[in-house]
Amino acid sequence: MTDIARFRDFVTDTAHLVAGTTDETTLLAALGPKLRELIAHDDWLPEAYAVTDGSHYRQYLLYADPLDRFSIVSFVWGPGQGTPVHDHRVWGLVGVLRGEELSVSYARQPDGSLRAGAAERLRAGQTAAVSPQIGDIHAISNGLADRSSLSIHVYGGNIGRIRRAVYDAETGAASEFISGYSNDAVPNLWPDRTAA
Ligand code: FE2
C-alpha cells in the first residue's frame, strides 16, 4: 500500500506555487524544499511507475497540469542506463528518490561545441535544477552500477510534449526530439473513499 496522499499534496503545492509566481528564481526557491520533503519518504510511488526496462531508461508521467504550466515525471534508470546530452527549454527540478544519479552539465562554447563540466553525484534526498537561465544542457545517468535508481522530476511545462534537442557531445550538433512518456495511464491521486 502506498500513501499517494504525499504526492497529491505535492501536486497541490506545485499548482499553488506556479499560480502564485512566474519568476523562475522565486519558484525554484519555493519548490525545492517541497520536492525534498516529497523525496524524503519512499512510501508513495505506485510500483507501476518504478518499473525498469532492460534496455532503456523509463520516463513515467505522474501528473500533467491541464494548463501546461508544469509536469511531474518519474525517471527510472537501470544499471548502466542514462540519457544522451539534451536540453529542456523550461525550468526543471530533479530529486533522487532511490539510488544515485550522475549529472554532467554542458556549456556552449563560442565555436558551437559543448564543454562538459564535472560530473555531479546526486544521492537519494538531494535535488538539482536546470533551466535555460541557469544552464539547460546536461546528461544524466544511473550513478550505481549494480542497482536501479529513480528520480522525480518537475518541469515548467509538459516536458513530454516539448520540442527540444539532443546533442552530439563531440560536435555540439543538435537534433530535435519530443520525448513523450513511457506510460499510457497516470496514477489515481484519489484512490480511497475519504470525503473531502
Ligand atoms: Fe534532463
What would the pLDDT profile of 127-146 be if each residue is shown by its tens digit? 999 999 999 999 999 999 99
Q: Indicate if the pLDDT at residue 55 is higher than 70.
A: yes
Residue 193 in any domain: the answer is: no
The cell numbers describing 119, all together, are: 560530473
Residue 126 in any domain: the answer is: yes
User: 20: CA distance to ligand 1 center in Å?
Assistant: 25
* Cα 160 to Cα 178: distance, rounded to the nearest angstrom: 6
User: 88: CA distance to ligand 1 center in Å?
Assistant: 6
- Return the amino acid letter for 22: T
What are the residue ranges of helices labelled H in 22-97? Answer: 24-39
User: 6: CA distance to ligand 1 center in Å?
Assistant: 24
Weakest mean pLDDT among 85-89, 97-101, 115-119, 191-195:
191-195
Residue 188 in any domain: the answer is: no
CATH of the domain at 135: 2.60.120.10
User: Are 79 and 145 within 8 A, CB to CB?
Assistant: yes
* Cα 65 to Cα 60: distance, rounded to the nearest angstrom: 15
Q: Whole domain around residue 25: which residue ranges?
A: 4-177
Instruction: Encode pLDDT of 11-44 as tens digits.
Output: 999 999 999 999 999 999 999 999 999 999 999 9
Instruction: Encode pLDDT of 151-186 as tens digits.
Output: 999 999 999 999 999 999 989 999 999 999 999 999
pLDDT computed for residue 196 by the predictor: 64
User: 14: CA distance to ligand 1 center in Å?
Assistant: 19
Residue 57 banded pLDDT, cuts 50, 70, 90: very high
Residue 189 in any domain: the answer is: no
Residue 27 in any domain: the answer is: yes
The total number of structural domains in the chain stands at 1
The cell numbers describing 66, all together, are: 491541464
